[in-house]
Amino acid sequence: MGKKKPAWHFFTSGYLILVLLFIYLPILYVVVFSFNDSKSMISFEGFSLRWYEAMLENREMLESVKYTVIVAVIATVVSTIVGTIASIGLSKARPLIRSVVMEINNLPVLNPDIVTAISLMLLFLSVKIQRSIVTLTLAHITFCIPYVILSVMPKLRQLDDNVAEAALDLGANPWQALTRVIIPQIYPAILSGALIAFSMSFDDFVISFFTAGKDVQNISMYVYSMKRFNPSVNALSTLIVVAVTIVLVLANLIPALRERKNKKEEY
C-alpha cells in the first residue's frame, strides 16, 4: 500500500500503545498492589506477600473459588457434550427447524444477562425448587451450551458434506462415521467451545447472583458482596491473570506447534 511516512507510523503505534495501556491498566494495578505491604489502594509501600497469605486464610474466599471451579467444570463438560451432539444433529436438520432452534439458541447470548437470570429464577421459584448449587449449575449449563453450539456449528457446516457420506460409502455405520470421521475433524472447534464455556461459567456474575442459593457463592458473587475493601482480592486476581495468560498462550501455541510437527513429517 505504498510507503508509509515514519511520522504516521509513529502516530499509529503510539495510539495502539495508549489503547493497550488503558486496557491493561487495571490488570497492572492489581498485580502491583497485590504485593503491597500496606492495605492502601493508593500508595505502594514496599513489597510483601502478606495478601497472598491472607487469601489462603480467608475461608469464604477459598470456598467461593471452590464453588466457581466445581460449577465451571460440570457446566463445561455437560454443555460441551450436549452442545456438540446437538450441533451434529442440527447440521443435518431441515433448514427451517435448524433456523428456529438456532434463533432460540441465540436468545441467551443476545438477551441481557439480567433477563436470562430473572427468567431462570422465576422458573425455579415457580416450580418450587430451592435455589442451590444444583440450580446454579443448571443455569450455567443453559447459558454455556449456546456458546458451544456457536463454536462447533460453523466448523460442522464447513465440512464437506460428502465426507460423512464417504464414510458410509466405505461401510462405516452412522456411529462409526461420527466417531471416526466427523468428531476428529471438528475437535478443535469443540475444544474452543469448551474453553469459551468454561470462561463464561467461571466469570459469570449476573446469572449466578439470581439463581444460586444463599449458601453458595462464586468468586464474582463474593467480590460483589464484600463490605470492605480487601487487598486479598488483588492477590486472587493476580493468580487468575497468570492462569488465564498461561491457558491462552498454550491454546494459541499448541495448534502452531502441531502444524510445525506435521510439516516435519512431510519431508
Partner 1 sequence: MKSFFRMSYPYILWIALFIVAPMVMILLYAVTRSGNGTITFSFTMENFARFLSDPTFLKVLWTSLRIAFLTTVFCILIGYPAALFIAGLPEKRQTLMILLLTLPMWINMLLKTYAWRGILMNFEDLSSEIRVFIGMVYDFLPYMIIQIHTAIAKLDPNLKTAAYDLGANPWKTFLKVTLPLSVPGIISGITLVFLPAVSSFVIPKLLGGGNYVLIGNLIETYFLVAGDWNFGSAISLIMALIIILSMYLTKKLDTTAKEE
Partner 2 sequence: MRKLIEFRNIVKSFDGQVVLKGVSLNIYENEFVTLLGPSGCGKTTLLRILGGFLEQDEGTVIFDGQCIDKVPAYKREINTVFQRYALFPHLNVYENIAFGLRIKKMGEDLIAQKVNRMLSLVNLEGYGKRNVTLLSGGQQQRVAIARALVNEPNVLLLDEPLGALDLKLRKEMQRELKRIQQEVGITFIYVTHDQEEALTMSDKIVVMNAGEIEQIGTPLEIYNEPVNAYVARFIGESNIVEGTMKADCRVRFDDKVFECVDTGFKPDEPVDVLIRPEDLTVVRPKDGVMRGEVKNVVFKGVHYELMVETKTGTSKTVKMHVVTSHDIHNPQAGEKISANDFYVDSDDLENKEMTDQDFISIANAQAWDEENRDLSLTKVTHDIQKTPGVYSITFGTDRGTEVTVKVYVVHPEYVEDPRHNIGISALDFFITPEEIQESMAISTDLKTWASAEAWNLQDDSSVEITDVKFDFDPAAVTEGSYDITFATQGREYKVETTDRLEVGDRVGLSFEPEDIHVMHKEVGDV
Radius of gyration of the chain (CA): 23
| Stretch 15-34 residues interacting with partner 1 (CB under 8 A) | 15-16, 19-20, 22-27, 29-30, 33
Cα–Cα distances in Å, from 2 out to 5, 140?
A: 10, 51
By CB under 8 A, residue 176 contacts partner 1 = no
CA angle centred on 99, ends 97 and 105, rounded to 5°: 105
Interface residue with partner 1, options 65, 118, 159, 191 (CB under 8 A): 118
| Stretch 160-179 residues interacting with partner 2 (CB under 8 A) | 160, 162-163, 165-174, 176-177
Q: How far is the CB of 167 from partner 2 (least distance, A)?
A: 7
Interface residue with partner 1, options 59, 95, 214, 252 (CB under 8 A): 252
Locate 88 and state its grid cell: 451434529
Rounded-to-integer distance, Cα 237 and Cα 41, Å: 15
| Stretch 185-204 residues interacting with partner 2 (CB under 8 A) | 185
Q: How far is the CB of 265 from partner 2 (least distance, A)?
A: 7
Rounded-to-integer distance, Cα 14 and Cα 19, Å: 9
Smaller CB separation from partner 1, 175 or 267: 175
Interface residue with partner 1, options 72, 136, 138, 190 (CB under 8 A): 138
DSSP secondary structure of 119-177: HHHHHHHHTTPPPSHHHHHHHHHHHHHHHHHHHHHHHHHHS-HHHHHHHHHTT--HHHH
Partner from partner 2, partner 1, none contacting 119, C-beta within 5 to 8 A by type: partner 1
